[in-house]
Amino acid sequence: MSNRLPTLAIVGATGAVGSVMLDILSTRENVWGEIRLVASPRSAGKRLTVRGTEVEVQALAPEVFDGVDVAMFDVPDSVSAEWAPVAVERGAVAVDNSGAFRMEPDVPLVVPEVNRAQVRNRPRGIISNPNCTTLSMIVAMGALHARFGLEQLVVSSYQAASGSGQEGIDTLRDQTEKVAADRTLGERAGDVRAAAGDLGPFPAPLALNVVPWAGSLKDDGWSSEELKVRNESRKILGLPGLSVSATCVRVPVVTTHALAVHATFSQEVTADAARQLLGAAPGVTVQDDPAAGEFPTPADVVGTDPTWVGRIRQALDDPRSLDLFLCGDNLRKGAALNTAQIAEVVAEEHTTG
């Protein structure tokens, strides 16, 4: 047990996830002592505000981790792969938001509402944060699983541009400006493509379109994003045999992922029972009254912490299945917030001994 508040380093403080992390930390009091901001040498010397104070960004180097208790990594996979072990060597616990370690058997993949105890099970000193698409449903699915026993998930995503970082946001904004200028677009094949200009990180225009692709190509036609939903859901829920089919689709939304989920359980589950259980689950907000026009949409959910759940229906042909529609801010619970929550569990160990 220590009287000193723990020291935190945020690697990737200048990125899309990093910026939201600074906002979130500014709302947390008495958790962290010093907070160090780290990014690439390109950003060294930049000044960012956290908890109302300007802090200078440092270039990533081994020394930035000296004296650090917890190091968060909000950087590309390759940077985490190289630098999280360096942070651990220098004495920090690494909480990594990238895909570098998520499926390693000796690295826990943690969602505090679902498997908080796994935080202590970190032989390598590294804890992974799930992918944003998985995170947009897993808190609600974990609560349902605990009561009804999950057997199968069929997931279709409606993923926001910011899942591809700041470049994704900028691309969607540029394309939206361009296609808004011509009220005839979207009625002939290719006209939106011609008008939208630069595709940025997406393989097809995103404005006035949807793109059934996220991530890289894996075996048998699956995208890396779709396999993450399957593999990470299985690991977080502790269900290595869970049946999961996901189709990941990018939509012209700035931030907040949405998911349509068909979930099958080992026992009957009514919509009312699901609504009641989810209504009481930490980290979940139920918004489900279509008669009053009440269901979650990304534009209304963005910037909030919970996983929002609506359109809860018992499948008409199988009383053990539910159909639901979920929304979660991919930069908050989908990334920065969950990382902050994990880091806070570690910080508690530090201050309580």
Q: Cite the annotated binding site by residue number.
A: 14-17, 42-43, 102, 159, 162-163, 250, 330
327 tagged catalytic: no
Least Å distance, CB 137 to ligand NAP, is 14
User: In whole angstroms, what is the distance from residue 12 CA to residue 282 CA?
Assistant: 29
Partner in contact with 6, chosen from its own copies, ligand NAP, none, beta carbon below 5 to 8 Å by kind: none
User: In whole angstroms, what is the distance from residue 90 CA to residue 213 CA?
Assistant: 39
Residue numbers belonging to the annotated binding site for NADP(+): 14-17, 42-43, 162-163, 330
Residue 172 interacts with ligand NAP (CB under 6 A)?
no
Least Å distance, CB 340 to its own copies, is 18
Window 292-351: residues binding ligand NAP (CB under 6 A): 330-331, 334-335
**DSSP SS3 for 277:** helix
Window 93-122: residues binding ligand NAP (CB under 6 A): 97-98
The H-assigned helical ranges of 149-266 are 165-180, 191-196, 224-237
Partner in contact with 72, chosen from its own copies, ligand NAP, none, beta carbon below 5 to 8 Å by kind: none
Least Å distance, CB 227 to its own copies, is 8
Give the length of the chain. 353
Query: Nearest 10 degrees: CA dihedral of 239, 240, 246, 249?
Result: 90
Window 131-170: residues binding its own copies (CB under 8 A): 152, 154, 156, 158
User: In whole angstroms, what is the distance from residue 165 CA to residue 259 CA?
Assistant: 19
Q: What are the φ/ψ torsions at residue 128 (nearest 5 degrees)?
A: -100, 150
Q: Which residues pair with 308 in a beta bridge?
A: 285, 327
Residue numbers belonging to the annotated binding site for phosphate: 102
Window 62-91: residues binding ligand NAP (CB under 6 A): 74-77, 79
Partner in contact with 302, chosen from its own copies, ligand NAP, none, beta carbon below 5 to 8 Å by kind: its own copies
Chosen residue from 217, 266, 280, 319 binding its own copies by CB under 8 A:
217
Nearer Cβ to its own copies (1/291): 291
Residue 209 interacts with its own copies (CB under 8 A)?
yes
Least Å distance, CB 238 to ligand NAP, is 21
User: In whole angstroms, what is the distance from residue 331 CA to residue 272 CA?
Assistant: 30
Q: What are the φ/ψ torsions at residue 51 (nearest 5 degrees)?
A: 50, 35
Residue 307 interacts with its own copies (CB under 8 A)?
no
Residue 111 interacts with its own copies (CB under 8 A)?
no
Residue numbers belonging to the annotated binding site for substrate: 159, 250
Chosen residue from 33, 271, 320, 351 binding its own copies by CB under 8 A:
271
350 tagged catalytic: no
Residue 183 interacts with its own copies (CB under 8 A)?
yes
User: What's 132's DSSP letter?
Assistant: H
Pairing of strands 307-314, 321-328: antiparallel
Residue 192 interacts with its own copies (CB under 8 A)?
yes
Task: Give the H or E element holding residue 95.
Answer: strand 93-96
- The per-residue b/e assignment along 65-93, b for 16 or more CB within 10 angstroms, e otherwise, is beebbbbbbbbeeebbbebbebbbebebb
Nearer Cβ to its own copies (45/186): 186
Which residue among 145, 248, 257, 327 is the active-site one? Answer: 257
Q: How many residues bind ligand NAP (CB under 6 A)?
A: 29
Chosen residue from 81, 86, 88, 251 binding its own copies by CB under 8 A:
251
User: In whole angstroms, what is the distance from residue 51 CA to residue 27 CA?
Assistant: 7
**DSSP SS3 for 172:** helix
Pairing of strands 8-11, 35-39: parallel
- As annotated, the active-site residues are 132, 257
